[in-house]
Amino acid sequence: MHSSADRLINPRTYIASILGLGLLTIIAAVPQWNAAAPARFIVFFLIAAIGSSMKVSLPAVKGTMSVGFLFVLIGIMELSLPEALAIAAVSIITQCLWHAKVRPTLVQVLFNIACMCIAATAAFLVYHSQKLADLGVGQIPLLALATCTQFLANTVPVASVIALNDGKPFRKIWKECYVWSFPYYLVGGVMALGFSVLSHRLGWQAAIVTLPVVYIIYRSYHLYLGRLEDEKNHAEQMAGLHLRTIEALALAIDAKDTTTHDHLRRVQTYAVAIGEDLGLKDSELNALRAAAVLHDIGKLAVPEHIISKPGRLTLEEFEKMKIHPVVGAEILEQVEFPYPVVPIVKAHHEKWDGTGYPFGLKGEDIPIGARILAAVDCLDALASDRQYRRALPLDEAMGVVAEEAHKAFDPKVVDLLKKRYRELEAKAQALPSKRPKLSTDMKVERGEAPDAGLEASKPVAVSEVDFLTSIAAATHEAQALFELSQSLGNSLSLNETLSVLGMRLNRIVPHDAIAVYLVQGEKLIPEYVNGDDFRLFASLQIPIGQGLSGWVAHNHKPILNGNPSVEPGYLNDPAKFSTLRSALAVPLDGVDGTVGVLTLYHGAKDAFSKDHLRVLLALSSKVALSVENAVKYQKAESSATIDYLTGLPNARALFLQLDGEISRAKRSDGDLAVIVCDLDGFKDVNDRFGHLEGNRVLQRVAQGLRENCREYDYVARMGGDEFVLIFPTMSPDLVHKKMEQIVEMVKVVGRECDEERLGVSLGEAYYPQDGKDAEDLLAAADRRMYKTKQGHKTERVSQEFNMLSKALTESSTETVAN
C-alpha cells in the first residue's frame, strides 16, 4: 500500500530536489580542491573508471550496479572531498554509459550523479567527523558508519524515485533491489580499510594491486545475481503455471456460461485495486487475483436450469445454489495454490452481520479477500445485464452497495469502493479482451453413431424458398388450422379434446413433446402430456409465477424458445432434468380467466420461430374455449356421481361400482364384502348444535371412513347419515375388525363434537352367500344393520329406565328420611 505521503509527492518534484541537493554538495566542495598529489588522484580516478565498467544488472528493476562504490570509499579515506566527488561522478558516468543495453536519459544520469555525490559527501563527513573522533570513536567504527551512510544515502533516493514512477511500494523496491547488496558494501569497507593500511605502509602505488580484487568482487556479484535471476525465472515460471491454471479453470466456467467472462475480469480489476489500497501483502493480492476469477467455479455443480433461471429462485433452488462456495473451495484445494485462494472462495458469500452462507461468519472473522470480493462482486452484478433483469446505472448500483455497508459488506471496503469505483470502471473498460474462443460450434465429421445408436429422424431437405413455396405453405397452414379448429369443437371429453390437439398440432408446429397444464388453485397441473420426457413433465406441479409455464400463466404472456429445464427445477431433484433445449409456451385465456398453459418442447436449441408463435397465439383462444367447456362438462358429469357435502361417491355411483365388483368377483371366484353404516344419535347433534355442525360431523365421518379403507376399497354416501363400504377380497374376520375400527372412529367424532350419544350401527353382507346382485347384498346388509340399530335402541332405553329408577329410588329415600 502506498502511504498518503507517497501520493502527495510528485516524481518530478522529487527528482528536482535531489538534483538541487547534489548540485549544492558539488558547489560547496569545489573551493576545497587541493591537488597535493595529482598522480595519486589520476591513478585512483582511472582505476575507479575501469572498475565501474564491471557492472551487473539489478533484479526486479531496469538498473545496474558496479564495484565503483569501493573506490568511492577509498577516495573518502585517502583523498579530499572534491577528489572523492570526482571519483564518484566518473564511476556513475561509466556505469551508466559503458555498454549500456538501454541508454539512459540525461536526467537519469544527472540524478544518479547527484545521488552518489550526496552519498559520498555524507559518508565523508561521517568518516572525518571531529566530534566523533573527540568521543573516542576509532577508525574502524568510523569507516563502518561511513559505509552504512553511503549505502543508505545512495540506495534510498534511487529506490524512492523508482517507487514513485512505477507506483510500487518503496519498501518492496528497496528490499528486493538493494538490501541484498549491503553485505558487499561492508566487504568493500573492509577492503578499503586494508588498502588504507597498505597505502600508509607501502605507498599509494600499492593501489594497482587492488585491480584483481576488484575483478573478484565483480565475479562474485555476477555469480550471485545469476543465481538470483535463475530463482526469479523459476518463480516466474511457477507463477505463470498457476496463472495458466487459473485461466484454464476460468475457461471451464466460461464454457458453461459465456456471460460470466467479462464479469470476472472486471471483478478482478476492482478487487486487486481495493486490496492494494488496503495494504494487502503480495501473497494476499495474488490470492485475491485468482479468487476473483475462480470464485464461481463451484457453480459447475449447480444444475444449469437453476443458474439460468429467468427470475427469483425458490427455497429449494437456493439451497442447491448455496453449495457452490463449498464445492468451489473443494475443487481449488486440488490445485494447491501457494497463496490462500481457498478461504476467499469458501467465504465470498459471507456477510458482515453474520447472515451469509455457508458458515455464517461475521465481521473480521471473514477473510479480508472475501470481504473485498463480496462487495465488488455485488457492485458489478448490479451494474451488468442479466437474463432476469436489466443492468442498473453504475452510480445507482454503487448506492445499493453503500446501503449494505455494516450489514452485508465491510464498511472500510465500501468506503474505498465509493471513492474509486468510477476510476476502476474506466480501467476495467480499457482492458483488452483475452478470452479464447472455444470450439463449441464446430462439427465433428468422424463418428457415425454412438454405441447406443441414434434416434430415428426424418431428413430435412433444404431448398431455396421462393414465392410459390410461401404461397403453398400459407395454404397448408390455413387448411391445417381450419381442420384443427373443427376437431376441437367435436368433443366435450377433456382427454379426447387434448389428444386431438396434440396429434394435429404437430403437423403445424413440429415439436418433440407437448404439455397442457391446467390451473388448479395456485398451481399448474399437467392434464395432458405426450412425447419426450413424458414421465418428467407428467409429474410436475408448477407454482403459478414460477418456472417457464408458471411465468406464462402469471403474466399472461407467451415465451419463445425458453429453457425447458427450468420446469423440473421445482421437483427439488437434481437427477431429474430435461434434455430438451427449447420451449414455446402460450397462455390459454378463457371466458373466466386463464385456464391453463399450452407448452411445446423441442430437442433443438431455438427450434421455434416467430411464425410458430403466431400460429399458437391464433389457436390459443379456440383451445382455451374448448378446454374450458370440457372442464365444465367434466365437473357437471362428476357432480352427478359425487356427493357435494362429503365428496364421496353418491348412490348412483355406488350401484355402478358394486355391479362392477360383483362381475369381477364372479370372474375370479373371489370374495366380496359390503358394509352398511347408519349413524346413531345424529338427530340429537342437529337438534343441539344445528345443521351446520351436523354437516361437519358427516364430513368428519366420511373422512374417517376413507382413512380406514385400503386404496382399492370403496366408500359411498347413500343419503342422510347412511354410508356404504365395499371391500373386495376381504375375509369375514377382517371385516369384523374393520367394523370395530369404524365404531371407535365414530365415538371419537362424537367426543370431538361433545355428543357422547353419537354412535353407529353396522350391517355386513358377503358375496355370494348373502346375494348375487347389488340389491340382494345391500338388502342383506341393511337388515343386519337395522337389527343392530334396534339392539342399540333397546340397550339405550334399558339404560335410561335404569337411570330413572335409580333417581326415583334416591329421591324417595331422602323424603322418608326427612
Give residue-wise pLDDT tens across range 366-381.
Answer: 999 999 999 998 888 8
Would you call 654 exposed, middle or buried from its count of C-beta atoms within 10 A (0-12, 13-18, 19+)? buried
User: What cell does 581 get?
Assistant: 433445449
From the centroid of its chain, how far is CA 484?
Answer: 46
Local structure of 325: helix, strand or coil: helix
* Window from 195-204, 421-430, 569-578 with minimum mean pLDDT: 569-578
Residue type at position 243: L
Kindly state which CATH superfamily the domain 651-802 is placed in: Reverse transcriptase/Diguanylate cyclase domain (3.30.70.270)
The predicted structure's pLDDT at residue 466: 45
Cell numbers 534510498 correspond to what residue?
156
pLDDT in tens, 74-102: 888 878 888 888 888 888 887 777 766 66
For residues 151-188, one letter each, b for 16 or more C-beta atoms within 10 angstroms of the residue's C-beta and e for the rest, the string is: bbbbbebbbbbbbbeeebbbeebbebbbeebeebbeeb
From the centroid of its chain, how far is CA 677?
Answer: 60
- Measured CA to CA, the distance from residue 763 to residue 771 in angstroms comes to 14
Cell numbers 347413500 correspond to what residue?
718
What is the model's pTM? Answer: 0.41
Cell numbers 370374495 correspond to what residue?
671
pLDDT at 666 > cutoff 50: yes
pLDDT at 6 > cutoff 50: no
Query: Higher pLDDT residue, 46 or 741?
Result: 741
Cβ–Cβ under 8 Å, residues 765 and 694: no
The predicted structure's pLDDT at residue 146: 86
Cβ–Cβ under 8 Å, residues 288 and 373: yes
pLDDT in tens, 525-569: 888 888 888 888 888 888 888 888 888 888 888 988 888 877 766
From residue 24, alpha-carbon distances to 18, 30, 83, 115 in Å are 10, 10, 16, 12
Q: Read out DSSP for 100-115?
A: -SSPPPHHHHHHHHHH
pLDDT in tens, 59-78: 544 555 566 677 788 888 87
- Measured CA to CA, the distance from residue 80 to residue 131 in angstroms comes to 19
- Measured CA to CA, the distance from residue 748 to residue 233 in angstroms comes to 86
Which residues, including other chains, have CB under 8 Å from residue 289's CB and lie 6 or more apart?
268, 271, 272
- Measured CA to CA, the distance from residue 369 to residue 518 in angstroms comes to 50
Q: Which CATH class is domain 468-639?
A: alpha beta
Query: Higher pLDDT residue, 803 or 326?
Result: 326
Strands 523-531 and 542-543, by their bridges, are antiparallel
- Measured CA to CA, the distance from residue 268 to residue 291 in angstroms comes to 8
* 765 sits in which H/E element: strand 759-767
| Helices and strands: H and E segment counts in the chain | 30, 12
* Window from 15-19, 274-278, 418-422, 609-613 with minimum mean pLDDT: 609-613
Average pLDDT over residues 197-215: 66
| Residue range(s) of every CATH 1.10.3210.10 domain in the chain | 257-429
The predicted structure's pLDDT at residue 797: 64
- DSSP E strands, 548-642: 559-562, 582-590, 593-602
Query: Higher pLDDT residue, 326 or 221?
Result: 326
- Measured CA to CA, the distance from residue 762 to residue 708 in angstroms comes to 15
For domain 4-210, give the fold.
Arp2/3 complex 21 kDa subunit ARPC3 (1.10.1760)
| Residue range(s) of every CATH 3.30.70.270 domain in the chain | 651-802
pLDDT in tens, 304-360: 656 666 556 667 678 878 888 988 888 888 777 778 889 999 999 999 999 999 999
Q: 68-78 and 182-202 helices cross at what angle (nearest 10)?
A: 40
pLDDT at 22 > cutoff 60: yes
Local structure of 692: helix, strand or coil: helix
- Measured CA to CA, the distance from residue 341 to residue 244 in angstroms comes to 15
Residue type at position 73: L
pLDDT at 9 > cutoff 70: no
State the sign of the Cα–Cα–Cα–Cα dihedral 143, 147, 153, 154: positive
Cis peptide before 649 (omega within 30 of 0): no
User: What cell does 811 get?
Assistant: 329421591
Query: Can you list the pairs that 104-108 forms with residues at least 24 positions away whose Cβ atoms lie under 8 Å?
Result: 107/15
Nearest CA to 308 among 578, 625, 629, 496? Answer: 578
The stretches of 53-181 forming alpha helices (DSSP H) are 68-78, 81-97, 106-127, 130-134, 139-166, 170-177
| Residue range(s) of every CATH 1.10.1760.20 domain in the chain | 4-210
Cβ–Cβ under 8 Å, residues 758 and 697: yes
Q: What distance, in Å, lies between the first and last C-alpha atoms of the chain?
A: 110
pLDDT in tens, 124-176: 888 888 888 888 888 888 888 888 888 888 888 888 888 887 777 788 778 77
Q: Read out DSSP for 474-539?
A: HHHHHHHHHHHHHHHTT---HHHHHHHHHHHHHHHS--SEEEEEEEETTEEEEEEEEETTHHHHHT
Average pLDDT over residues 38-54: 74
Cβ–Cβ under 8 Å, residues 393 and 425: no
- DSSP E strands, 664-755: 672-680, 714-719, 722-728
Quote the DSSP letter at residue 376: H
Q: Which CATH class is domain 257-429?
A: mainly alpha
Which residues, including other chains, have CB under 8 Å from residue 733's CB and lie 6 or more apart?
none
- Mean of per-residue pLDDT scores for the chain: 78
